[in-house]
Amino acid sequence: MPQGLKKGFAVLGIESSCDETACALVEDGRRVLSNVIDSQIELHRLYGGVVPELAGRNHVMAIDRAAKRALADAGADFSDVDAVAVTCGAGLVGCLLVGVSYAKALAYSLGVPLVAVNHIEAHMCANYLGTDAEPPYLCILASGGHTAVVHVAGYNEYSVLSSTVDDAIGEAFDKVARTLGLPYPGGPQIDRLSESGKPVYRLPSPLLKNGNLSYSGLKTAVVNLMHNAAQRNEALDAADLSASFSRAAIDPLLSVAEKHLKRLGLKTLALAGGVAANGYLRGEAQRLSQRTGIRVLLPEKKLCTDNGAMVASQGYFLLAEKGVNCDLTLNAAPTLRLRGDKPSRR
Ligand code: KG4
Ligand code: ZN
């Protein structure tokens, strides 16, 4: 455990990288005192996906309310905040700027440290919330913007072992759902439908020879299957297609993770990111645990999708181990990568 911060150190985490305005107060990087998520999903559903300008404008309207509600829910006020952590990237620039500007003003006015947090790293920290989990572990990071198998060697030490070379897995879930005529965001809809389906359709594997993944081909194969069936006036079973797609997308991710676990002798596998809320992925990870004795960490579903608590947690561990990592010149970094990731992996 990192030392150096007083016991009960409270970090206000602020997240506004996409379509959730989220603020949370977290003590010692683990104890969630409040977790407010003001979601814009209903607004963007009208357009079938996130409209960046609308998202940015809505963050402006929601952020102060969300921060104040996070403090009220925790029975705290601004004087109880020991540090402010904010997602500075990756994400939509207009959205990130709202959180970053708010966090800068707040930290300055309260006279407390400001910590810049990488959204992708924050997702992995959801595994510390309400648990005693500690690095090292292997993490399957599966979200709408990223897909990777990451070796988490320390609270701030990440190295990407395998990753997608094109689309993220969540993007593929959303695209398949959209082609099936399901509302945004499609991941949870496919998840629900696949429970009653059978994996009867043959689909290509996203696994590449070098251990990386490519979700664009799988996504296109499903879309083509649907278009070809429509041209022949054939009806495809949406539940069976959802089950087939879920397995095709998720099984290779788990098998590649298992190989890395064995190779590195790691005993813990964690899930992170929005797709970690997926029932099939969670079930298969638990089966892997029963089969191999590997400990599996499954964050609460609400902590898998975007939230402020994960940002507060990564902020805490950054401050505790590395000290203050930014000043009031902090800017949004829309294309920020994970530390330890390499630019090209094809
Ligand atoms: O982590 P997240 O909230 O935002 C990003 O950082 O991208 O992930 C959102 C993604 C979306 O693509 C959404 O469809 C997917 O996570 N997702 C799911 C489920 N819940 C959310 N995908 C599959 N099954 C789910 N239950
Ligand atoms: Zn996210």
Q: What is the DSSP string of 161-215?
A: EEEBSSS-HHHHHHHHHHHTTPPSSHHHHHHHHHTT----S-----B-TTS-B-H
- Residue 288 near ligand 1, beta carbon < 6 Å: no
Measured at the CA of 254, the angle between CA 167 and CA 258, to 5 degrees, comes to: 130
- What are φ and ψ of residue 322, in 5° steps? -115, -10
Question: How many other C-beta atoms are found inside a 10 Å radius of the C-beta of residue 149?
Answer: 25
Distance 233 CA to ligand 2 centre (A): 38
**If you take atom 8 of ligand 1, which residue's CA is the nearest one?**
274
Distance 83 CA to ligand 1 centre (A): 28
Distance 169 CA to ligand 1 centre (A): 9
Identify the CA nearest to 63 among candidates 92, 106, 110. Answer: 106
Q: Count of residues for the chain?
A: 346
Q: What is the pLDDT of residue 343?
A: 54
Q: Are 243 and 249 in contact (CB under 8 A)?
A: no
**Which atom of ligand 1 is the closest one to the Cα of 273?**
1
Ligand nearest to the CA of 185: 1
Q: SS3 string of 276-298?
A: HHCHHHHHHHHHHHHHHCCEEEC
Identify the CA nearest to 143 among candidates 118, 178, 173, 100. Answer: 173
Tens place of pLDDT for every residue, the chain, 346 residues? 566 799 999 999 999 999 999 999 999 999 999 999 999 999 999 998 899 999 999 999 999 999 999 999 999 999 999 999 999 999 999 999 999 999 999 999 999 999 999 999 999 999 999 999 999 999 999 999 999 999 999 999 999 999 999 999 999 999 999 999 999 889 999 999 999 999 999 999 999 999 999 999 999 999 999 999 999 999 899 999 999 999 999 999 999 999 999 999 999 999 999 999 999 999 999 999 999 999 999 999 999 999 999 999 999 999 999 999 999 999 999 999 987 776 554 4
Identify the CA nearest to 87 among candidates 275, 339, 315. Answer: 315
**Which atom of ligand 1 is the closest one to the Cα of 119?**
6
* Token pair belonging to 332: 């949004």
Looking at the whole model, is its pTM more than 0.85?
yes
Helix (H) or strand (E) holding 221: helix 215-231
**Which atom of ligand 1 is the closest one to the Cα of 169?**
12
CA distance 168 to 148: 9
Structure letter (DSSP) for residue 152 = E
Question: Reading across the β-sheet that carries 83-89, which strands appear in turn?
Answer: 31-39, 20-27, 10-15, 83-89, 114-118
Distance 70 CA to ligand 1 centre (A): 23
Residues 6+ apart with CB under 8 A from 231: none
Question: How many other C-beta atoms are found inside a 10 Å radius of the C-beta of residue 33?
Answer: 19
* β-strands 83-89, 31-39 pairing: unpaired
Give residue for tokens 């689309």: 167
- Is the previous residue joined to 90 through a cis bond, with omega within 30 degrees of 0? yes
